[in-house]
């Protein structure tokens, strides 16, 4: 008998979400973001499954791109952070690479490689990232024209000018609209393809849907919006599941778990579930964080351990060792769980660790 803990990854739901987002994008080309192991869903499996439907795949850094290339992915791979050091341009990836250049040293280094190596330009392209207000990465927007002139050796008709929105998922829309306008008023003059939207931008702002959109979290069935502020219906791709490995009844007044942080206010039935913070479930999840068991929500009680969680199942009519427990997924929205834990669906999904097996449900 082995541990029943696993993440079910529903590839049919992934495709149905992607279809909805593609139709929302209204003809924009699609960059599918598969960084961070496809947000925990498995980069190679996700990329393989969707590559024929999208134009570009995106990862954060070179090693993530090489993993896909080695696995036989052929769609161009956009490296969102560009190179961290110049030597990365020496990589001989089978798959075409697109480097997002955000700093002037990267422009210089890229230009030098183009000049010194004729083969380089056949397998590599560059997109240019501009800072239109997020102030995290990007070339200065007010130098856009000058940079395109100084580095014209880099620029061709496939060079995309990119920016990233700081507030596309915030309830108040004015800040995102102002940022989109600021970028467009400068970038449109260059007559090159543009890319602004992430998932939230694609869902909410027509002006952010330019030649390309970048889709991440929404493909995986979570949205960047708050639960009560959710403009579209998506299906959970990841369902994180485990099972009850032990059950006991404790008297009123007894405590559960490390530090005895939770005490039973009545005689209580406690279920121990085979998953813990080493699997990526956050240790700081508080008492009353929900899970799903036998058709009902059950509250977490006591501290999260390395390999185990404890839930109060007193209110379940039937419960037995071996019963399945869903931590989030089809029956319990990840954003709902995230809200209890004081985080977002992105963080819960990306942190599920390697020791949790992924089981892939077929595309059709």
Ligand X SMILES: *Cc1c(COP(=O)(O)O)cnc(C)c1O
Shortest distance (Å) from residue 29 CB to ligand X: 14
Give whichever of 92 and 136 is closer to ligand X, judged by the CB atom: 136
Structure tokens at 47: 């990329």
Short-list 245, 244, 266, CA closest to 254: 266
Of the residues 53, 152, 189, 258, which is catalytic? 258
Identify residues 138-197 at the interface with ligand X (CB under 6 A): 164
Of 46, 50, 68, 80, the one binding ligand X (CB under 6 A) is 80
CA 161 to CA 194: how far, in whole Å? Answer: 5
Site membership for ligand X, residue 57 (CB under 6 A): no
Asked if 196 and 28 touch (Cβ cutoff 8 Å), the reply is no
Question: Smallest gap, in angstroms, from Cβ of residue 60 to ligand X?
Answer: 7
Whether 12 is catalytic: no
Query: Which residue number has the CB closest to ligand X?
Result: 216
| For ligand X, the closer CB: 199 or 243 | 199
Subset of residues 199 to 228 that bind ligand X, contact rule: CB under 6 A: 199-200, 214-218, 224
- Contact present, 78 and 100 (Cβ < 8 Å): yes
Q: Rounded to the nearest whole angstrom, what is the least distance from the CB of residue 93 to ligand X in the complex?
A: 20
Residue 318 has a CB neighbour count (10 Å cut-off) of 8
Q: Residue 33 or residue 304: which is nearer to ligand X going by CB?
A: 33
Q: Binding residues for ligand X, how many (CB under 6 A)?
A: 13
The residue written with tokens 């992607």 in the block is 18
C-alpha–C-alpha distance, residues 285 and 299, integer Å: 11
Specify the pairing of strand 161-162 against strand 124-131. Answer: parallel
198 binds ligand X (CB under 6 A): yes
Residue 31 CB, nearest approach to ligand X (Å): 8
Q: Provide the H-helix boundaries in 136-210.
A: 144-150, 174-187, 199-204
Cβ-based nearer residue to ligand X, 194 or 319:
194
CB of 251 to ligand X, least distance (A): 47
* Cα separation, 211 vs 221, whole angstroms: 23
**50/46 Cα distance (integer angstroms):** 6
Q: Residue 127 or 262: which CB sits closer to ligand X?
A: 127
CB neighbours of residue 199 within 10 Å? 27
Pick from 33, 240, 273, 334 the residue near ligand X by CB under 6 A: 33
CA dihedral 223, 229, 233, 238 (to 10 degrees): 30
- CB 214 to ligand X: min, Å: 4
Do 203 and 331 meet the contact criterion of CB atoms below 8 Å apart?
no
In the block, tokens 């070179």 appear at 62
Q: x/- string (CB under 6 A) for ligand X, residues 231-270?
A: ----------------------------------------
35 belongs to the catalytic site: yes
Of 35, 110, 129, 277, the active-site residue reads: 35
Is 46 among the residues that bind ligand X (CB under 6 A)? no
Q: Which residues are catalytic?
A: 35, 258
Applying CB under 6 A, which residues contact ligand X? 33, 35, 80, 164, 198-200, 214-218, 224
């Amino acid at each position: 008998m082995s541990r029943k803990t696993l993440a079910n990854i529903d590839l049919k739901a992934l495709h149905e979400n992607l279809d909805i987002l593609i139709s929302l994008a209204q003809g924009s080309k699609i960059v599918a973001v598969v960084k961070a192991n496809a947000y925990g869903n498995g980069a190679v499996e996700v990329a393989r499954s969707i590559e024929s439907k999208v134009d570009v795949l995106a990862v954060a850094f070179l090693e993530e791109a090489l993993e896909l290339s080695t696995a036989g992915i052929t769609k161009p791979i956009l490296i969102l952070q560009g190179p961290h050091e110049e030597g990365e341009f020496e990589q001989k990836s089978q798959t075409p690479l697109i480097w997002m250049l955000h700093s002037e040293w990267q422009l210089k280094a890229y230009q030098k490689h183009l000049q010194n190596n004729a083969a380089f330009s056949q397998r590599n392209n560059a997109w240019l990232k501009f800072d239109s207000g997020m102030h995290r990465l990007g070339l200065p927007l007010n130098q856009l024209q000058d940079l395109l002139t100084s580095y014209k050796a880099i620029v061709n008709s496939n060079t995309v000018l990119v920016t990233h929105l700081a507030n596309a998922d915030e309830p108040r829309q004015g800040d995102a609209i102002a940022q989109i306008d600021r970028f467009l008023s400068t970038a449109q003059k260059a007559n090159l393809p543009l890319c602004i939207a992430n998932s939230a931008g694609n869902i909410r702002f027509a002006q952010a849907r330019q030649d390309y959109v970048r889709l991440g979290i929404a493909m995986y069935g979570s949205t960047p919006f708050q639960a009560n502020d959710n403009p579209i219906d998506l299906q959970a791709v990841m369902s994180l599941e485990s099972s009850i490995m032990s059950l006991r009844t404790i008297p009123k007044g007894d405590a559960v778990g490390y530090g005895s942080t939770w005490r039973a206010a009545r005689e209580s039935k406690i279920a121990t579930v085979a998953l813990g913070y080493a699997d990526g479930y956050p240790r700081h999840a508080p008492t009353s964080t929900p899970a799903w068991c036998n058709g009902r929500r059950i509250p977490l009680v006591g501290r999260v351990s390395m390999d185990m969680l404890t839930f109060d199942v007193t209110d379940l009519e039937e419960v037995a060792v071996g019963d399945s427990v869903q931590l989030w997924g089809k029956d319990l929205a990840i954003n709902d769980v995230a809200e209890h834990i004081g985080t977002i669906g992105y963080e819960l999904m990306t942190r599920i660790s390697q020791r949790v097996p992924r089981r892939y449900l077929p595309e059709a």
